[in-house]
Amino acid sequence: MGSAGKILVGLGVVLIVVGLMLIGLERLGVRSWRMPGDIAIHRDGFHFYFPLGTSILISLILTLLFTFWAWLTMRGR
């Protein structure tokens, strides 16, 4: 398996683990994932939700993880 295949398998495993954690938390009663900065509009017959704050947080976490991963791979050369 090439390096791209290993990365895809690794990402798949991470997604499965995160999905199982979210299912477990939902069964425990933790359902509110809204953060400050998320946009929610509720009107008669219309609901709109845009997770702006959540998107920024996920982007920041992924940027830090990928930067750390790139630093580790460059350090090994």
Q: What integer pLDDT is reported at residue 33 of this predicted model?
A: 65
What 3-state class would DSSP assign to 30? coil
Distance, CA of 22 to CA of 30 (rounded, Å): 9
pLDDT digits (tens, 9 = 90+) for 25-54: 778 877 666 678 888 889 999 989 888 888
Same structural domain, 74 and 42: yes
Same structural domain, 73 and 42: yes
Distance, CA of 22 to CA of 28 (rounded, Å): 10
Same structural domain, 54 and 71: yes
Q: Tell me the residue range of the domain where 8 lies.
A: 1-31
Predicted TM-score of the model (pTM):
0.54
pLDDT digits (tens, 9 = 90+) for 7-29: 888 888 888 988 888 788 778 87
